[in-house]
Amino acid sequence: MSRSERLLDLLQRLRRRRRPVSAQVLADELGISLRTLYRDIASLQAQGAPIEGEAGIGYVLRPGFMLPPLMFGSAELDALVLGMRLVLERGDRDLAQGAANTLAKIAAVLPPDLRRELEDSALLIGSGPRPPGNTIDARLLRDALRLEQKLDIVYLDPHGRRTRRTVWPFAIAHFEQSHILMCWCEWRGDFRNFRTDRIQSVTLLPNRYPTRKRALLKQWRQTEDVIGKTILSETDIDWT
């Protein structure tokens, strides 16, 4: 690992922590000596990184510090390209366009050597069956997630029965052959999952649901193991 990559790695490790972390912990994680760690901290501070703390106490990166977009390591560029290509191959039209725009914007600000590395990436996504198309605008589902607002949906189950629900969406699970909207259903008073290609109509309601999205996701994760394993392994599930 080059020194520049090590400094970037150090910054990233500090960004992931909200509380001071000791120099010894950072040095162990990076596989360097304490002396080198102190020298790296001083170098980053001299370059403007708002790192607070001192030897024997711990270090913390002040909130709000943004890394320049050109500061990507090779593994980060690989992860970025692979992720964006997966969205291009398997996402809906808006997400695919967003992935293409993201790659173009990042390539525009990278230095020439990193831009060539991004453009010449040999990490490819294999072709395969795409998820069925939606009859509704998938942007409404993502808007509801972001805004934490209720949705009114009309859903067609595998037996051809239509039901109307008011749901609190908290996640969308993207499987190879389907996308699943994960919700709290007011009608059932429980968690329910809906394949997005079976949602016949959707309306974004003006009122927010009373529980935060993060809390719903945490509550879902704490449900019985058998339920969680079924949701994550079976893409054709419909709970009505």
Look at residue 108 and tell me if it is in a domain.
Answer: yes
Q: Determine the average pLDDT of the residues in 173-195.
A: 89
Structural domain that includes position 16: 3-61
Instruction: Examine the domain organization and report whether 218 and 142 are in the same domain.
Output: yes
Instruction: Examine the domain organization and report whether 7 and 53 are in the same domain.
Output: yes
Q: Determine the average pLDDT of the residues in 210-233.
A: 72
> To the nearest whole number, what is the mean pLDDT of the chain?
82
- The overall pTM is greater than 0.75: no
- The confidence score (pLDDT) of residue 57 equals 80
- On the question of pLDDT at 106 being above 90, the answer is no
Instruction: Examine the domain organization and report whether 98 and 167 are in the same domain.
Output: no
Q: Give 24-77 pLDDT, tens digit per residue.
A: 999 999 999 999 999 999 988 887 888 998 767 889 988 766 655 456 777 778
Alpha carbons 27 and 224: distance in angstroms, whole number: 40
> What is the per-residue DSSP string for 191-236?
EEEEEGGGEEEEEEEEEEPSS-HHHHHHHHHTS-HHHHHHHHH-TT
- The confidence score (pLDDT) of residue 120 equals 79
- On the question of pLDDT at 224 being above 60, the answer is no
Alpha carbons 179 and 111: distance in angstroms, whole number: 37
Which residues neighbour 166 within 8 Å (Cβ) at sequence distance 6 or greater?
150, 151, 152, 185, 186, 187, 205
| Inter-residue long-range contacts of 41-50, CB under 8 Å, 24+ positions, other chains counted | 41/10, 43/7, 44/7, 44/10, 44/11, 49/11
- The confidence score (pLDDT) of residue 233 equals 43
Instruction: Examine the domain organization and report whether 46 and 90 are in the same domain.
Output: no
Look at residue 69 and tell me if it is in a domain.
Answer: no
